[in-house]
Structure 1
């Protein structure tokens, strides 16, 4: 039961230290085993090691495990294990973390329900969370520049298509409508963004991920939107300002996303801290006023260098983000997930690699919620229209 249910157990176990202490008190583990568990860096690896040891500890160990789960606040896991039901048999744990498929085999059906204690499922707390149950959940946009043909020589971002594949898979897993723009020049880059923001179609949310080389802004805009800025290098070597990109998703330029969650990620090298934001009011269909930039989260990568090692840091970052997201979507919102990613990145890179993320009016919790196979088919049909 434990090995079959490994992915869910690892991702849903809370109160790790208390849980381990209870297992020690119940003599499930000796000091050597505890040291082995604690020798792993991440909580995911610690829990995986812990659960793999249980079947080797004899028939009494299972009962003591369920007792420890119950006493440590993991009552739901204890009940599910006792009932002999497979919690989530569709996802292979190793494939989740090693890139063989963020949602396992495409033939598998997805159990997309959260734990009952997730605030997103509680009616009285719905006002605290962004609604993420519609189909599609929103738009998942990936802009990736791998090759450069401009006058200024830029190294090819080797391996970036693998990052695109992994991110695309994540977006589909969580029920987003995925759009790609690959190796576009500056004009096509801007047209792609503008067309999306001004197409007049209803939108539930957006996650925009921009990956390329980056440069520090040569001149600071008078209307600073963020405390961090970057010039994204397009295929032709011409740059697109992160401020310009962010502003296209404002309530003035993209009315369909006014009051809706917007997460914009820039995974590039270079950048610098700058200053402040601004806000205006505009009318929507129901004459509701929104700040110019609200319900907005921006994420900037902070790489310790640029070419040629930038692609290695990018790959490392994407893998860490994927791992934490897959293992924690049931219980953690996007802010908590990014905080954990940051802790892991800083720990594994000697504090050289981390994310700068800020929010403007992002006043609700944003949970990623997967879809069933049937719902995924519906989304693909919508994309074909």
Structure 2
């Protein structure tokens, strides 16, 4: 190891000990790249306290040859310690370039959302440039089949319940038609289809119909040979539940339970992604004012397009804590108790952001990195009340019980699948 790299480890030792949360994963990564021997990896893992694990790792690392520091940075990136890489490389001659990704400059995310220039027309998914051997080890979910898996979409637009009496005693439907939801359906379909998923759409389903669709889904033999499953729900919602078109509710806890390892054995150890476009309450967030510079940039962007905020409405009509499910990511359009917004022309802030981000970044980012970008994009949305006196914001959120990194790897087919195809063609 070069003196400069050894010194960077020494000067940042306390920072590394405190800020690397998963030393066992880092040691395993170094073992994978043959920087650590199995005995060295065991020396780290046998320690009971995280800080002692890191000290042991840092005692061994400087003695492991000229490539040790560079591969250490690579492993840190793989194990979601990007902030540590920045700390180690800032102000030094050492620079780190991710070795597996296409090298291109990322454009800034749109300053306002929804952004017509970003959403008009078809989204094109960026493809991985070549097969990547890093996805063959145990720290990544397998993602090389074609098709990858199924995307089940439930899209409720027109509701006929529940009913309530207005001031004149006339009974009317409480839940409004969800204008613009067809745009969400279209974008989700085109993006996931390009990522080698089979997309199946169900429109305008009652509460019991939704439950039955989910029960039937987990029984499909298709999932036994699939890599991943995705559920997308577009409907009205309340705290802890989503609405069927008849006004009957289905709890989010019940939906998650349907896809746990016990009820969905074919996908027990495979990744499951749930994307829910629905309000989780009826509160609206007026937000806090950003810096003057940021506000000026937002105003400039707003002046370039029509004021779309007048066409934004909520999917609200208040969430209980649910048990965690393994190998599952759940992303929702809003935080607990808050409304989500949907633009009548362009679709929901959340699912449009999902489609936009997945199309642009799935070739190089894992799902947690992409959903963080989705949160940022949704937070840039603005909705105004009818009097134009108040401006509301929203933020999406996600939770994860994944135990490995989930990359969609669009365009890639695993070597195992390629070999099977060759054998089938020659037989």
Pick the TM interval, shorter chain: 0.5 to 0.7
- Match of 1:320, SS state, is helix
Q: Distance in 2 between matches of 1:340 and 1:253?
A: 32
2:214 to 175, 190, 193: 193
Write the distance in 2 (CA, Å) between the matches of 1:142 and 1:260.
19
Work out the CA distance in 2 between the residues paired with 1:139 and 1:181. Answer: 13
- CA–CA distance in structure 2, aligned partners of residues 269 and 252 of structure 1: 28
Match of 2:243 in 1: 233
Measured in 2, the distance between the counterparts of 1:302 and 1:75 equals 35
Q: Which of the two has higher C-alpha Rg? A: 2
Change in CA separation of 1:231 and 1:95 when aligned onto 2, cut-off 3 Å? closer
Q: Against the structure 1 CA distance between its residues 135 and 266, is the aligned structure 2 distance closer, same or farther, given a 3 Å change threshold?
A: same
TM-score (normalizing by structure 2): 0.52
Aligned residue-pair number:
254
Residues 128, 351 of structure 1: alpha-carbon distance in 2 compared, 3 angstrom cutoff: farther
Matches of 1:76 and 1:207, distance apart in 2:
26
- Structure 2 residue runs of 5 or longer lacking an equivalent are 1-94, 105-114, 164-172, 282-317, 383-390, 418-427
Partner of 1:355: 396
* CA distance, structure 2, for counterparts of residue 76 and residue 258 of structure 1: 29
**Distance in 2 of aligned mates of 1:300 and 1:231:** 12
Q: Using the TM superposition, give the Cα deviation of residue 344 of structure 1 relative to its aligned residue in structure 2, in angstroms.
A: 2.5
Secondary structure of 1:297's partner?
Answer: strand
Give the distance between the partners of 2:379 and 2:273, measured in 1 at CA: 22
Identify which of 177, 180, 193 aligns with 1:172: 193
State yes or no: 1:250 paired with 2:260.
yes
Matches within 5 A, 1:122-161: 122=134, 126-152=137-163, 153=173, 154-161=175-182
Q: TM-score, normalised to structure 1's length?
A: 0.58
Which residue among 362, 386, 395 is the counterpart of 1:329?
A: 362
- 2:238 maps to 215
* Alignment correspondent of 1:44: none
Partner of 1:113: 128
Q: Secondary structure at the match of 1:122?
A: helix
Counterparts of 1:259 and 1:205, CA distance in 2: 10
Q: Provide the C-alpha distance between the structure 1 equivalents of 2:101 and 2:141, rounded to a whole number of angstroms.
A: 27
Structure 1 residues 79 and 250, CA gap change in structure 2 (3 angstroms): closer
SS at match of 1:141: strand
Q: After superposing the two structures, state which structure 1 stretch, 201-210 or 346-355, moved more.
A: 346-355
User: In the TM superposition, what whole-angstrom CA distance separates every residue of 1:123-157 from its partner, at most 9, and x where no partner exists?
Assistant: 6x631111110121111111110000124221000
Per-residue deviation, 1:320: 2.2
Q: 1:162 aligns with which of 183, 187, 193?
A: 183
Shift in CA distance, 166/79, structure 1 to aligned 2, threshold 3 Å: closer
CA RMSD of aligned residues (A): 3.6
Shift of 1:73: 4.2
Structure-2 change in CA distance of 1:99 and 1:132 (3 Å): farther
Q: 5+ residue gaps in structure 1?
A: 1-70, 81-93, 105-110, 217-229, 279-292, 376-385
Q: Show the counterpart of 1:367.
A: 407
Residues 158 and 173 of structure 1: is their aligned pair in 2 closer, same or farther, counting only changes over 3 Å?
A: same
Distance in 2 between residues matched to 1:310 and 1:95, nearest whole Å: 14
Counterpart Cα distance in 2 of 1:131 and 1:188: 32
Q: Secondary structure at the match of 1:354?
A: coil
Q: Which residue of 2 aligns with 1:205?
A: 228
Q: What is the distance in 2 between the residues matched to 1:113 and 1:198?
A: 32
Q: Are the structure 2 counterparts of residues 372 and 95 from structure 1 closer, same or farther at C-alpha, using a change threshold of 3 Å?
A: farther
Q: How far apart are 1:323 and its partner, in Å?
A: 2.1
Shift of 1:72: 8.3
